[in-house]
Each structure stands twice: as C-alpha cells, then as structure tokens.
Structure 1
C-alpha cells in the first residue's frame, strides 16, 4: 500500500511541478505550497507553528523551510528564544503569489475532476484514512496481526 501511495503522490506532484515550471515557477516544489499559503495567511511564523499548521513534524517542516531558504523563497530570523527561527516570505515569493494562486486553483479544480472519475473521491478517502489512523495507528493494526 505504501509503495502505491508514494507512486500516486509522485504522479500528482510531477503534474503540479511540470505546470508550475511552465508558468515560470521553476524550482518551486509542490511540498512548498502549504508553507507558502500558511505564511501568506498568518505572516511570519516559527517553524513549530508552521509544522502545526501544515500538519507535519517539526523535523519535516525544518527540512522544507531549509530547502525554501536555499531557493530564496523564505527568510529566516531569530525568534524570542535562541532555538527559535521565524520564517517569512521573501519579496520575490510575494511577487509570485498571484501566479502560485492560479496554479493552486487549477490544481484544486483538477483534483475535483479526478475525484469525479473515481469510484470514491480520493480526497475523501485520504481524510477518512488519516482519521482512522489517528484513532488507531497503523503500527497497532500491524501488531494485531502478528
């Protein structure tokens, strides 16, 4: 199941990345989108707050922010605590927001189109699977079968 899900994510992300490149957004990775959207909405945020908003681990958020920093998409500044870093969008990224928004709206419409072609909407299945795994983690389900 994991292999198939990773392949599905690759197919989805590759499609988004290709279109974003065609729109002049070369180097912008699909995994950056929820971070940019969150920062555009909330403004400067700590990595911990970003991780919570995007629903990823602190480590995953930190790695993604580091990649975005290398691409010049975000700036980092010290927080109130020596360990804390505050993330903000760069002026360049703010200029890209209208184009990014167009790409995101098109991707969402394409997702609705894909959902309509499936026996069960993928977006609903993903939400239901996530909720089921929150109720009972996969490791517990595996252990039940050992």
Structure 2
C-alpha cells in the first residue's frame, strides 16, 4: 500500500519547510558573496529605503508587503546590525528609518542578488504546474476576506450541531 502525500492537514508545517528551503538558500547565496549572516528579509527594506529614504516603518511595511509589526521587528534587527538608524517622527509615535553608510555600500551586491533570486524564482515557477507566487497571492487574498480562525470556528460549530 502506497502512502498518500500529506494534504491540507499539514499545510502550515509544509509551508514552513518550503520557506526554510527558500530562505536558507537565499541566505547561503548571501554568504557565498561575502555577506554571512545577512538575512534575506533585510533586502526588500534596504531596496525600499534606497528609493525613498528616510521612510516611516508603516511605509516600509506597505512597500515590502508585510505587516507593520513584521516591518518593525525587521527594522529593529537591521538597526542592531548597523544597517539602519531610527529617529522619532513628527508626532512622536512614528519612527523614521534611515539607511546607514554600511547598508548603502551593500546596494550593488544586494541588487545583483535580488536580480538573480528573482530570475531563479521565475525558473522554479516554470517547473511547477501552477505559479507559486500566484497561489500565495490567492491564499493571502482569501485569508484577507475570511481569516483562518473564522474558517476553523465554522468547522467546529458545524461538528457540534
């Protein structure tokens, strides 16, 4: 008897594994070009700041497609690495992010890595029956319309009626 591959019951686990494979490979490619320990999630922030520095964290979140909380956490890690500095905004609640000279010195290498990663991702998608980026966009949109928590609650209420 052949074992059936996992289905939706292990979706979160399998997505985390996929993300580990993707992020791990990108991080390794940064190490290959002399940037050991550089986190892949820093690059979109640095690229956004290169276009519009300085920027508020909320603007960086919007530009990079993540939540304000995720952008804030990434910026905090980047500040520890000496890639950005933070200053208070006009209203005191807002934090304004500036690139450091260190981050600016990495732009050429990061742009080349970004282009190579984008091309490699396109080639990966060409091997798939359905583009992964499109599936992710559709899943995010569906969860935006109706969060997973509500979906689970519906199933649980159906089973008790």
TM norm. shorter chain > 0.5:
yes
SS of the residue 1:87 aligns to: strand
Aligned to 2:5: none
Structure 1 residue 81, shift from structure 2 partner: 2.2
Conservation of the 8 A alpha-carbon contact between 1:47 and 1:61: yes
Larger of the two Rg values belongs to structure: 2
Structure 1 residue 84, shift from structure 2 partner: 2.2
Aligned to 2:75: 65
Q: Give the Cα–Cα distance (whole angstroms) in 1 for the partners of residues 67 and 136 of structure 2.
A: 18
How many residues end up aligned between the 2 structures?
Answer: 146
Greater alpha carbon shift after TM alignment, 9-18 vs 30-39: 30-39
In structure 1, stretches of 5+ residues that fail to align are none
Structure 1 residue 51, shift from structure 2 partner: 1.9
RMSD, matched Cα: 1.3
Conservation of the 8 A alpha-carbon contact between 1:27 and 1:71: no
Aligned to 1:34: 44
TM-score, L = length of structure 1: 0.93
SS of the residue 2:106 aligns to: helix
> Which contiguous aligned blocks of 4+ residues in structure 1 show a shift greater than 3 angstroms?
none
